[in-house]
């Protein structure tokens, strides 16, 4: 066979990244993670030849189940504490591959302007799932409203682990997605950052934000068998790129997020 210039160009095209287009199915739950992915990550992956398919679920366990079954390739919505709890309870085998900028949980109110305004017997709504309920109670403790017994498991703290509640707060657990709506009736609400952003709330409006540390910074999760796959490596590289950092810094709506360590900035929260 005669090997001419046209043949060479066709061969080069056949092995180029753009010619190796592949669907990349990424799952999300309500919150800001799809927006950050679409604006800062997807353009990079699309230049590598990927076609991005966005899939949304109302519940985190649904997104994890779809990832476990191979219906989606990755999901972005959860921290590793939730991921590990799902792995244990649902017999999943999912792993985190990279941390992502994460809005912290915050204490909000439409009735009161400061923490000092907390009345006797105030109603405080918190997420009902154990992991996020524990986070909420730690915010209340940091505000000086309650005291948590020493030595309790920091991951599974519940109202039963309070040694003091001097204001006699009425703590009401709700589904996490419903907590923002409770602001109309409750004195205060401890709202997960993703639900706050999804409901148009500014993190800077919180009366108090949690001191977010690992392992509560959210991650991209994939099946363990895919953790070294090319698509997983490409997702990690895109998040760690200067291009994503620039896109993230340019969006004022993302002010107050807890930033991953690879952003290499002074402090952990965007000023």
Tens of pLDDT, residues 196-218: 988 989 998 999 999 888 888 99
92 & 115 share domain: no
98 & 122 share domain: no
Place of tokens 């590793």: 80
Nearest to 170 by CA among 111, 120, 105: 120
Q: Which residue has the higher pLDDT, 255 or 97?
A: 97
188 & 203 share domain: yes
157 & 233 share domain: no
Q: What is the pTM of this model?
A: 0.79
Nearest to 135 by CA among 105, 108, 159, 109: 105
Residue 41 domain flag? yes
Which of 170, 188, 209 corresponds to the end of one domain? 209
Q: Is the predicted pLDDT of residue 19 greater than 60, yes or no?
A: no
Instruction: Give the CA diameter of the chain.
Output: 89
Lowest-pLDDT range of 228-232, 233-237, 262-266 = 262-266
DSSP-assigned beta bridge partners for residue 148: 162
Alpha-carbon gap, residue 96 to 115, rounded angstroms: 36
126 & 97 share domain: no
179 & 197 share domain: yes
Residue 239 domain flag? yes
Q: Is the predicted pLDDT of residue 20 greater than 80, yes or no?
A: no
81 & 112 share domain: no
Which of 163, 180, 209 corresponds to the end of one domain? 209
Residue 270 domain flag? no
| Whether the Cβ atoms of residue 246 and residue 140 lie closer than 8 Å to each other | no
14 & 85 share domain: yes
Mean pLDDT calculated for residue range 102-107: 95
187 & 115 share domain: yes
180 & 116 share domain: yes
Which of 166, 189, 209 corresponds to the end of one domain? 209
Residue 226 domain flag? yes
Mean pLDDT calculated for residue range 5-32: 62
Residue 68 domain flag? yes
Q: What are the phi and psi torsion angles at 126 (to 5°)? A: -140, 160
CATH number for the domain that contains residue 230: 3.40.190.10
Query: 73 in helix, strand or coil?
Result: coil
141 & 10 share domain: no
Residue 49 domain flag? yes
116 & 68 share domain: no
Q: Is the predicted pLDDT of residue 12 greater than 70, yes or no?
A: no
Number of domains in the chain: 2
Range of the domain at 257: 5-102+215-263
Q: What are the phi and psi torsion angles at 161 (to 5°)? A: -95, 10
Residue 225 domain flag? yes
**Alpha-carbon torsion 200, 235, 67, 217, what sign?**
negative
Residue 172 domain flag? yes
């Amino acid at each position: 066979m005669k090997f001419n210039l046209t043949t060479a160009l066709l061969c080069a095209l056949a092995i180029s990244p753009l010619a190796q287009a592949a669907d990349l199915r990424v799952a999300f739950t309500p919150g800001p993670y799809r927006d950050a992915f679409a604006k800062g990550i997807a353009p990079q992956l699309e230049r590598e030849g990927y076609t991005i398919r966005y899939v949304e679920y109302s519940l985190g366990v649904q997104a994890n189940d779809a990832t476990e079954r191979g219906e989606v390739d990755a999901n972005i919505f959860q921290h590793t504490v939730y991921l590990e709890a799902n792995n244990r309870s649902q017999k999943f085998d999912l792993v985190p591959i990279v941390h992502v900028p994460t809005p912290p949980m915050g204490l909000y109110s439409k009735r009161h302007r400061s923490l000092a305004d907390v009345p006797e017997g105030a109603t405080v709504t918190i997420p009902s799932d154990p992991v996020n309920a524990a986070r909420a109670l730690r915010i209340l403790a940091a505000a000086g409203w309650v005291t948590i017994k020493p030595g309790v498991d920091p991951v599974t703290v519940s109202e039963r682990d309070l040694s003091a509640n001097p204001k006699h707060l009425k703590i009401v657990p709700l589904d996490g997605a419903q907590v923002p709506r409770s602001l109309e009736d409750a004195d205060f609400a401890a709202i997960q950052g993703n639900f706050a952003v999804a409901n148009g709330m500014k993190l800077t409006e919180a009366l108090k934000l949690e001191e977010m540390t690992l392992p509560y910074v959210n991650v991209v999760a994939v099946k363990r068998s895919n953790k070294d796959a090319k698509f997983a490596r490409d997702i990690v590289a895109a998040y760690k790129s200067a291009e994503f950092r620039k896109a993230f810094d340019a969006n004022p709506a993302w002010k107050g997020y807890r930033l991953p360590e690879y952003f290499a900035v002074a402090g952990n929260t965007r000023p």
